[in-house]
Amino acid sequence: MRYLIALVLLVLPGLGWAHDWEDQLIFNEGADGPRLRVISSTDTVLFAPLIDGFVAQNPNISVEYLVSGTADINQRVRATPDAFDIVVSSAMDLQLKLANDGFALPLKDIETPSWAQWHQSLFAFTTEPAAIVINRAAFEGQDIPQTRQGLIEALRKRPEEFRGRIGTYDVRDSGLGYLFATQDARASETFWRLMEVMGGLDVRLYCCSGEMINDLADGTILVAYNVLGSYAAVRAERKDALEVIFPTDFQTIMMRTALVSRATQQPDAAEAFIQYLVEEKPVAQGSQLSLPPLMSQGESTDHETIGLNPALLTFLDDLKRKKFLSAWENAVIQ
């Protein structure tokens, strides 16, 4: 009986979780040292060079890389904080709330500018703007819109061409989509007008940047709004069909952040990993498939990078979120 229970306990989580992950990969599997469990929203192909670099420096550490959506990561970490050592996510607000709620382990020895960390427990290591990505074919002979207002006009001009062929995040499912949407809404009323126009054109809603880019690449959709610049840039280089536009009216720039779970069993290895992320400029990997590096704030003034501060908690408030989602649904789902 006891063996049976043990067997069930051993097999169940494996069975239950194995199919949940978008991707799951173990780096340096043969290492005899500690194994770091990294839960991340970043596609493996973009993150792999970083982990390869880390295990090359620390050959005795192996890394299990688990990929999921930002909202899902938040729920999983809250449910089982001891199941992960490192949490990497692009949803800054959810990450900050994790840290604020005490799920992050403060690392006193990591030196990084104050704007790139919060409470010495949440560390930014990339700077990534939200972008509009278009299929060039759809704009042949037309002006390519450089602003949201320009996009609205382009969509209104040829509604039948774009109907059902534009995409954006489903902010109800995607943490990053919600973060981009709320920051856009803070910045300008244009966001709501754009949402209404897109809603009127039967916008397709996506969970993740990757899927949106895939659909763009194969021509399913012609325009994607608020795609993660880094993903788009990778695809745009490979496919001439795509053009990545960083809107000139205002930009929403996110910093990818990492934290160490307070319940980690491997605090030293985890700290070494964070130290590596913060020190190693991802672009220095020399690979085309890499994340953009962290850019110092103030290098350019018209780019607004979302700040790591308690204000990120505002839109995570239940009442506030309900209100925002209902406004969003009113605009988008018609």
Partner 1 sequence: MTTNPNVSGSLRNRLVLTLIGGAAVLAVLLFFAVRNYAAQVAQQGQDNILEASVTSILDAAALRDGVLEVDIPYAAFSMLTTPTDDRVFYAIYQDGVFLSGYEDLRLAAAPAQSDWSFTSGELRGERIRQVSASRTLVGLGRQTEIEVVLGQTQDALSRTLDQISRNAAFLGLGFFLLTAALSFWITSTTIGQLNKLTTSVTRRGPQDLSPFKKPVPREMAPLVMSLNSLMGRLDQSLSQSEDFIAEAAHRVRTPLATVRSYAEATLHRVERKENREALRAMVRAIDESSRAAGQLLDHAMITFRTDHLVREDVDLVELIRDLVQRLTPIAEMKELSLSMTGDPTVPYSGDPILIQNAVRNMIDNALKYAPLDSTVEIEITGKPEIKVSDSGPGFLPEEIETLTRRFERGKNAAGTIGSGLGLTIAQDVAIAHGGTLVLTNQPSGGACVILSL
| Residues of this chain that bind partner 1 (CB under 8 A) | 100-102, 114, 117-120, 186, 307-314, 317-320, 323
Closest to partner 1 by CB, 205 or 313 = 313
Task: Give the integer Cα–Cα distance in Å for 112 and 106.
Answer: 13
- Element holding 20 (H helix, E strand): none
- 273 burial type by CB count under 10 A (0-12 exposed, 13-18 middle, 19+ buried): buried
| Ranges of H-type helices in 126-279 | 148-157, 159-162, 175-187, 190-200, 209-217, 229-238, 267-279
How distant is the alpha carbon of residue 242 from its chain centre? 20
Residue 322, CA distances (Å) to 74, 262, 333 in order:
18, 30, 15
Task: Give the integer Cα–Cα distance in Å for 108 and 260.
Answer: 12
- The alpha carbons of the chain give a radius of gyration, in whole angstroms, of 21
In the bound complex, what is the minimum distance in angstroms from residue 284's beta carbon to partner 1? 28
Two tokens at 256? 């990818």
Closest to partner 1 by CB, 75 or 142 = 75
In the bound complex, what is the minimum distance in angstroms from residue 168's beta carbon to partner 1? 22
Closest to partner 1 by CB, 97 or 148 = 97
In the bound complex, what is the minimum distance in angstroms from residue 120's beta carbon to partner 1? 7
In the bound complex, what is the minimum distance in angstroms from residue 122's beta carbon to partner 1? 9
Two tokens at 171? 């902010």
Residue corresponding to tokens 């964070």: 274
Closest to partner 1 by CB, 37 or 97 = 97
Closest to partner 1 by CB, 101 or 268 = 101
Which candidate, 145, 108, 106, places its Cα nearest to that of 225?
145
Closest to partner 1 by CB, 104 or 130 = 104
In the bound complex, what is the minimum distance in angstroms from residue 310's beta carbon to partner 1? 4
Closest to partner 1 by CB, 74 or 230 = 74
Q: Which residues pair with 183 in a beta bridge?
A: none
In the bound complex, what is the minimum distance in angstroms from residue 99's beta carbon to partner 1? 8
In the bound complex, what is the minimum distance in angstroms from residue 132's beta carbon to partner 1? 24
